Amino acid sequence: MIDENLLIEIVTEELPPLSQKQLGESFGKYIFEGLTNHKLITTSEFQVYSSPRRLGVKITKVLSEAKTEKKLIKLMPKKIGFDLNENPQQALIKKLESIGNKESSLSEIITKEDTLYIEKNIVGKKLYEIIESLILDSLIKLPIKKVMTYQLSDGWETVNFVRPAKNLVILYGNKLINATVLGIKSTRTSIGHRFESKNNTIELHHADDYESKLLKEGNVIASFEKRKNFIQKAINIATQSLKKNVLAICDDDLIEEVTALVEMPNILIGEFESKYLDVPQECLILTMKSNQKYFPIIDSDNKLTNQFLIVSNLTPVNPKLIIEGNEKVIRPRLADAEFFFKQDKKSTLIEMSHKLDKIIYHNKLGSQSDRAKRVARIHEYIYKEQAIGDFKDFDRIALLAKADLVSLMVGEFPELQGIMGRYYALNSNENKSIADAIEDHYKPKFSGDTLPRSILGVSFALADKFETLISLFSINEKPTGVKDPFGLRRNAIGIIRLIAENNLSLNVKELIEKFMPKTSAEKVDDLKKFIDERLVNYLKDKNYRSQEIDAVMSFSPAHLHNIVEKIEAIRIFSSLDESQELAAANKRVSNILKKYEVTNNTEVIPSLLKEPQELELYKSLNKQMPIIKKYLKENNYVEALKGLVDLKTPIDNFFNEVMVNDKQIDIKNNRHNLLIKLHEILNCVADISKVSNS
């Protein structure tokens, strides 16, 4: 038995770039897991390869054959296998035959707890026997969105895979393992760069030769991560060569996409005419990145320059033709953006808004104009509830904010809605604060996005997101499973961030109840629960413990702005010596009150407090209640919870000496009312019973 490094490579036609990295990682993972399941792995090391035309994996120290192992195999209950005279039954003999044993092996049967077992040597699988089926199983499991169906060269056999396969390498050390996968027989020769490989085929003498030989002879960087790092370093070198204080815009998604498009990256610098810089730079940046996969270059003031970086898959001696070709391709794109911008500016934003009644928002919810009116009403409510200022043009700003949806620029680049609205608002001589709010009312658009820059933008963004949630929930268009076509989860998280990070004391449930259509009133609780679920995720992302989150979420808080402060207070409270006993007491009170039917009259009558311990608790509650309420009013939740400590002794004495369910109904009800008062104060910040260890 030996161990060697195993290399598997499949060369294909160009793989889809957006899923190439995931395909490579999944292929390597499934091959490794398969070998592990067959007990052919002695290490946890494997290297994944993926490029536009190949998927591969190299796994170190793979056994040629798994060890033979003894295994105790369960047969059947003894009463079925043997009769009363200990004679074997036919069922037992057939069971032995099914696992390859003869009747003569009856003497080897072991009885444990009235069950029959037999010890059997399980011969380990040989690598060459299982490798073909293992590769096929791994390929079937790959996360391929759309499978291609194509015929092999014989014209008869049909194969299904993400792209047509061209070559297969399976090397075990220096040995070739023969197999046929996707109609391709394995070989020890690979294929290099489509245009710049030194040889048509690259002979591999050993699995360890793969990466170095592919680079030297095939001009291919096989590792996705190494190719990505190469591009990042080359981009930095290219920008530094410009001898200006400039920087390339390198977001990770674009880096990964171009990494999946090239096998040997070559970074080149292109230019376009400076006149196009009069177009909003967001438009130019977007068209360069999304349409051409170029990296725009900005200066030290974050202003776009007229230069950009090209990641080419070719490295000619004179790159002039490649650069000129790319410059020629980008010009029409920039000219389109320039044309759209000039045409859009011929109309004011308010003139554009007149066309909103012709754009359907949803067939059950009317036009964008109808939607703007709903947003305006919610915006007005939030603005006045928070006493923010003296703004009054809620209908107008709601229409202006959606007006850029009819523009040519947003029609071409939907990602620019709001951004272009700001430019067109300024072009229409709107106030800058209005223009900023128009752009900002879409924020936050994604996790980690910035929030609106003004309180007007914050209240407007809240109104827009609440309208989306309320309207779509009212017609039952809520997310199902992983599907969320209207981005409702993102909107809910946005609401939480806007409220929490701007400390807005907004009653979320009251707002939903006020604006949910009367015909869909039953959806109020569904929507509140939906927001609560997102709030739990928001708090988990801040690394709060489940107990702490449960404590503040137990009563589905209507106000979200102080949730973090309450959790921090609960964390401090949990560290107090008295916290566990107070938490246990709160749980006990809650359990008692669950069985008690609360009436409208919950007043405690002092004259009915017969026992000294219940009178002591009553007096302590009356003493601590105003102190704790004062702290709550000041949002000092830590001191409010600390105020509960003085109630510990009276509570203990009460439960030790007082029978709550007294025979006299009026005394029993009075004690229940006392517990209602106690329950209220114990849960003034959160449900402290959730921090109990019991």
In whole angstroms, give the CA distance from residue 76 to residue 81: 7
Instruction: Give SS3 for 340.
Output: helix
Q: Which two tokens stand for residue 549?
A: 């989150």
- Which pLDDT score, from 0 to 100, does residue 122 have? 79
- pLDDT band at 691; cut points 50, 70, 90: confident
As a whole number of angstroms, the distance between CA 405 and CA 399 comes to 11
Q: What DSSP element (H or E) covers 581?
A: helix 579-594
Tokens of 507: 């009653």
Would you tell me how many other CB atoms lie within 10 Å of the CB of residue 83?
10
Average pLDDT score over residue span 458-468: 98
If you write DSSP's letter for every residue of 43-73 in order, what string do you get?
---EEEEEETTEEEEEEEEEESBPPPEEEEE
Residue 334: the pLDDT is 96
pLDDT of residue 46: 95
Cis bond before residue 52 (omega within 30° of 0): no
pLDDT at 85: 87
Q: What is the CA radius of gyration of the chain?
A: 36
3-state secondary structure of 9: strand
Cα–Cα distance measured from residue 640 to residue 631, given in angstroms and rounded to the nearest whole number? 5
Distance CA 512, CA 401 (A): 22
Q: Which CATH number fits domain 574-691: 3.40.630.30, 1.10.3720.10, 3.40.50.2300, 1.10.730.10?
A: 1.10.730.10
Residue 647: which of 599, 680, 601, 692 has the closest Cα? 680
Chain centre distance of CA 240: 35
pLDDT digits (tens, 9 = 90+) for 516-539: 999 999 999 999 999 999 999 999
Amino acid at 652: D
- Return the residue matching tokens 């701007």: 502
CB 489 within 8 A of CB 536: no
- Kindly compute the dihedral angle of the four CA atoms of residues 498, 500, 506, 512, in this order, to the nearest 10 degrees: 60
C-alpha–C-alpha distance, residues 648 and 633, integer Å: 23
* pLDDT confidence of residue 106: 86
Looking from the CA of 432 toward its CB, the CA atoms found within 13 Å total 2
* Average pLDDT rounded to a whole number, residues 126-131: 95
Q: What pLDDT was estimated at residue 121?
A: 81
| Whether pLDDT at 609 is above 70 | yes
Q: What percent of the chain has pLDDT over 90?
A: 85
What residues form DSSP beta bridges with 171? 7, 176
Instruction: For domain 350-543, give its CATH number from 3.30.1490, 1.10.1760, 2.60.40, 1.10.3210.
Output: 1.10.3210
Q: Characterize the bridge pairing of strands 184-187 and 165-172.
A: parallel
**Residue 262 has what DSSP assignment?**
-
Q: What is the mean pLDDT of residues 238-260?
A: 93
- Return the H-helix or E-strand segment holding 319: none
DSSP 646: G
Residue-level pLDDT at 598: 66
**Distance from CA of residue 58 to its chain's centroid?**
30
SS3 176: strand
Measured between its terminal Cα atoms, the distance across the chain in Å is 55
Q: How far apart are CA 27 and CA 374, in angstroms?
A: 50
What does the alpha-carbon distance between residue 553 and residue 530 come to, in Å, rounded to a whole number? Answer: 13
| pLDDT tens per residue, range 550-583 | 999 998 999 999 999 999 999 999 999 999 999 9
- Cβ–Cβ under 8 Å, residues 140 and 160: no
Distance CA 193, CA 204 (A): 16
Q: Who wins on pLDDT, 388 or 396? A: 396
Nearest to 428 by CA among 413, 417, 438, 442: 438
Residue-level pLDDT at 103 = 83
- Residue 604, pLDDT score: 92
* Identity of residue 178: N
Instruction: Give per-residue pLDDT as tens, 30-46.
Output: 999 999 999 999 888 89
Exposed e or buried b for every residue in 231-259, given b needs 16+ CB within 10 A? bbebbeebbeeeeeeebbbbeeebbbbbb
Q: What pLDDT is recorded for position 584?
A: 92
Which of 118-127, 497-506, 507-516 is least confident? 118-127
pLDDT digit string (tens) for 411-425? 999 999 999 999 999
C-alpha distances in Å from residue 12, one per residue of 185, 189, 192, 638: 14, 14, 12, 63
